């Protein structure tokens, strides 16, 4: 399923608050929305393994100034959620306590005008003005594992009436992460990209995006079958990190030159080899720490390449930065999604109540692309 074809959005509309028909005026209730029963969410009952996740009733969220209330069609499952469940990654202030960094769904309600939020109003030029009934995907600071969630409208991506609704939940976190980091690395025309983990939720998007923009893309993945699937996403060269010497294979594939940008989900122990893979002026962008929090940086090797190391996180960035990233994604990347050149890669769609199984799948390493939770 992809965003160029419709799927069945109706499940998302089962909420007790009915959306108005598409195109109808926004339906904010000045006196607050009518009182309703709580909604279901997957909460972390105590820090621990997947079985600490349980569906419970939580308060029905109310959209604040500039926010929308979304009836969730699907929520993306991310590695950050595993860390949060284990007690190592608390939600930022103001975010719901339950996990979920991205959703797709239908707008049920629209909050008051952001003018009510004072100075924030001046920062909202170009922010979408969704209406009840609109279909959207959204980047969240948390709370997506639920039937409903609120989000600032600066963080939404509009899904046209003809686009697939559910699978769009696989995209906001990866698109924002990949695009903001390619920007940070000043990734430009004619440059080559190495994507570590082209088989992952982030990497599968990075490979497609760089390929769609006409770059030469190298990627790593584990095992022949996964490598073949990454090649089908548009990678020119795929290195099996379980069977090959990655450094040698990448240098061979680039005639010893190395790559302009490495998008790295490994961190610590991969630091030294990643520096060796950089071409002159190359940039190593660290976004994940699957191989540890610390590593040894070979400074002479970095200096010899006049290289640089960049490291970023997305979730805890200030609201204005996230809004700017999503505006950039809407302008430059979302059109590639809408015309089918970048597609959500969905490994499985799992009912909300089976969230423990979704986490087990991600932990097992079997997932190719993203797992979605469906309320």
The SS3 of residue 24 is coil
Q: How far apart are CA 145 and CA 352, in angstroms?
A: 7
Given 42, 44, 53, 80, the residue binding ligand NAP (CB under 6 A): 80
DSSP state of 301: H
Member of 78, 191, 192, 208 binding ligand NAP (CB under 6 A): 78
Site for ligand NAP in 97-116 (CB under 6 A): none
Number of other residues whose CB lies within 10 A of the CB of residue 349: 17
Tallying the residues shown for the chain, one arrives at 375
Q: Which CB sits closer to ligand NAP, 316 or 339? A: 316
Least separation in angstroms between residue 242's CB and ligand NAP is 7
User: How big is the site for ligand NAP, counted in residues (CB under 6 A)?
Assistant: 28
* Cβ neighbours, 10 Å, residue 234: 19
Measured between alpha carbons, how far is 84 from 104 in angstroms, rounded to an integer?
21
**Contact status: 295 vs ligand NAP (CB under 6 A):** no
Q: Which of 57, 162, 312, 321 binds ligand NAP (CB under 6 A)?
A: 312
Query: Distance between CA 329 and CA 176 in Å, rounded?
Result: 7
Q: In whole angstroms, what is the distance from residue 48 CA to residue 357 CA? A: 14
Binding mask 238-267 for ligand NAP (x = CB under 6 A): ---x-----------------------xx-
Q: How far is the CB of 357 from ligand NAP (least distance, A)?
A: 15
Residue 160 CB, nearest approach to ligand NAP (Å): 26
Where would I find the beta strands (DSSP E) of 1-78? Answer: 39-44, 53-58, 67-77
Q: Kindly state the DSSP code that residue 195 receives in the 8-state scheme.
A: E
Whichever of 144 and 197 has its CB closer to ligand NAP, that residue is 197
Residues that bind ligand NAP (CB under 6 A): 78-80, 173, 177, 196-197, 199-203, 220-222, 226, 241, 265-266, 287-288, 290, 312-314, 362, 365, 367
């Amino acid at each position: 399923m992809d965003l160029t074809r419709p799927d069945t959005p109706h499940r998302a509309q089962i909420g007790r608050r009915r959306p108005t028909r598409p195109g109808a005026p926004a339906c904010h209730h000045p006196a607050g929305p009518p009182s309703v029963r709580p909604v279901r969410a997957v909460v972390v009952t105590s820090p621990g393994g997947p079985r600490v996740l349980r569906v419970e009733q939580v308060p029905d969220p109310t959209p604040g100034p500039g926010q929308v209330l979304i009836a969730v069609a699907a929520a993306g499952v991310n590695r950050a959620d595993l860390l949060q469940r284990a007690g190592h990654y608390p939600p930022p202030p103001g975010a719901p306590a339950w996990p979920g960094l991205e959703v797709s769904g239908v707008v049920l309600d629209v909050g008051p005008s952001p003018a009510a939020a004072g100075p924030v109003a001046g920062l909202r030029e170009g922010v979408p003005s969704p209406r009840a009934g609109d279909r959207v995907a959204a980047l969240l600071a948390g709370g997506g594992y639920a039937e409903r969630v609120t989000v600032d409208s600066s963080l939404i991506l509009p899904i046209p009436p003809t686009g697939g609704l559910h699978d769009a939940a696989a995209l906001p976190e990866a698109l924002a992460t990949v695009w903001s980091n390619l920007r940070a690395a000043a990734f430009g025309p004619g440059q080559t990209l190495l994507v570590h983990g082209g088989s992952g939720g982030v990497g599968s998007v990075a490979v497609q995006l760089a390929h769609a923009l006409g770059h030469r893309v190298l990627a790593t993945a584990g095992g022949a079958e996964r490598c073949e699937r990454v090649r089908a996403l548009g990678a020119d060269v795929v290195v099996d990190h379980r069977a090959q010497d990655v450094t040698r294979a990448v240098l061979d594939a680039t005639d010893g030159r190395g790559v302009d940008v490495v998008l790295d989900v490994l961190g610590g122990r991969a630091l030294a080899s990643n520096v060796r893979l950089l071409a002159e002026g190359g940039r190593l962008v660290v976004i994940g720490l699957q191989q540890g929090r610390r590593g040894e940086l070979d400074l002479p090797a970095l200096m010899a390449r006049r290289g640089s190391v960049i490291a970023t996180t997305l979730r805890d960035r200030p609201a204005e930065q996230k809004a700017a990233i999503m505006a950039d994604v809407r302008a430059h990347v979302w059109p590639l999604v809408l015309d089918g050149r970048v597609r959500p890669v969905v490994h499985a769609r799992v009912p909300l109540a089976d969230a423990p199984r979704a986490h087990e799948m991600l932990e097992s390493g079997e997932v190719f692309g993203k797992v979605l939770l469906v309320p």
